[in-house]
């Protein structure tokens, strides 16, 4: 959604509530046999997986590029995305899901090991964000759009009580990873960010504020 908004492409979104949604009954497996989101349906073309969707959008709508304007930029962007896929996002999403499902304490040693792996990766990202403003240079690219939701989701999960058992050294981000924190703020100022922000995240934040009040 953020890629669509940033590129200025008109679209209709349909949020799926996993608590009540059955991919088998809905026929969703005809769109994605893995039964996961996101999925882009464009006339008779169906694309799933975030990076594949962005690559498709880039070819169809090359204006406002997300994958660079020359070979050097394109190579660096894909390099960063490959690093995120192979090293960063797997432990980030695994820990986030364990916390969300309230199972992170079932194997506390494994969860703590994920914290160590994540800290190592985020420290590396924080380091090169001390040189450039964005993940793959000094402008918004697909690498930023790919990484931001994962870090935002992890941040939300780390506010839960179980996170205290995990001895998370890198949270809160502004105190531990200042360059990464500044990058998060820059992403939140992107064109289309407010429109693409998950509405259920807003609802959860409002509930949290009311509970604290």
Peptide bond into 149 cis (omega under 30): no
Which tokens hold the place of 212? 């604290």
* Domain boundaries, position 16: 2-60
What's the pLDDT score for residue 174?
80
For residue 165, the 8-state DSSP code is G
Query: CA-to-CA distance for 31 and 28, rounded, in angstroms?
Result: 5
In a domain, 15, yes or no: yes
Evaluate if residue 91 carries a pLDDT over 90.
yes
What's the pLDDT score for residue 208?
47
Domain CATH code at residue 43? 3.40.30.10
Evaluate if residue 185 carries a pLDDT over 60.
yes
- Of 12, 36, 60, the residue that ends a domain is 60
Evaluate if residue 195 carries a pLDDT over 60.
yes
What's the pLDDT score for residue 206?
52
Do residues 180 and 126 lie in contact, with contact meaning Cβ atoms separated by under 8 Å?
yes
> DSSP labels for 54-100?
HHHHHHH--SS-SS-SSHHHHHHHHHHHHHIIIIIHHHHHHHHHHHH
Same domain, 94 and 179: yes
**How confident is the prediction for the chain on average, in pLDDT?**
90
Evaluate if residue 12 carries a pLDDT over 90.
yes
Query: CA-to-CA distance for 204 and 41, rounded, in angstroms?
Result: 28
Mean pLDDT computed over 186-212: 75
Beta bridge partners of 39: 48
Give residue-wise pLDDT tens across range 43-71. 999 999 999 999 999 999 999 999 999 99
What's the pLDDT score for residue 205?
58
The burial of 195, by beta-carbon neighbours within 10 Å (0-12 exposed, 13-18 middle, 19 or more buried), is given as exposed
How many domains does the structure of the chain reveal? Answer: 2
What's the pLDDT score for residue 203?
63
104 φψ region: left (φ > 0), alpha (ψ -120 to 50), beta (else): alpha
Domain CATH code at residue 145? 1.20.1050.10
Q: Indicate the angle between helix axes 108-128 and 142-157, nearest 10 degrees.
A: 140
Mean pLDDT computed over 24-41: 89
Give residue-wise pLDDT tens across range 93-136. 999 999 999 999 999 999 999 999 999 999 999 999 999 999 99
Mean pLDDT computed over 175-197: 94
């Amino acid at each position: 959604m953020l890629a669509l908004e940033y590129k200025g492409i008109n679209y209709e979104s349909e949020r799926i509530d996993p608590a009540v949604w059955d991919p088998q009954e809905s026929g969703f497996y005809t769109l994605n046999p893995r039964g996961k989101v996101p999925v882009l349906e464009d006339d008779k073309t169906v694309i799933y997986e975030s990076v594949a969707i962005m690559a498709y959008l880039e070819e169809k709508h090359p204006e406002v590029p997300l994958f660079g304007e020359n070979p050097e930029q394109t190579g660096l962007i894909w390099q960063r995305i490959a690093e995120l896929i192979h090293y960063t996002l797997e432990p980030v999403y695994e820990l986030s899901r364990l916390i969300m499902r309230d199972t992170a304490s079932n194997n506390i040693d494994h969860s703590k090991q994920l914290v160590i792996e994540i800290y190592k990766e985020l420290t590396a990202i924080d380091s090169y964000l001390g040189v450039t403003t964005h993940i793959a240079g000094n402008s918004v690219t697909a690498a930023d759009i790919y990484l931001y939701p994962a870090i935002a989701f992890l941040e939300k999960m780390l506010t839960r009580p179980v996170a205290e058992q995990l001895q998370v050294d890198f949270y809160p981000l502004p105190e531990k990873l200042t360059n990464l924190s500044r990058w998060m703020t820059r992403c939140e100022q992107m064109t289309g960010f407010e429109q693409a922000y998950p509405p259920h995240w807003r609802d959860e934040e409002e509930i949290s504020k009311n509970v604290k009040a």
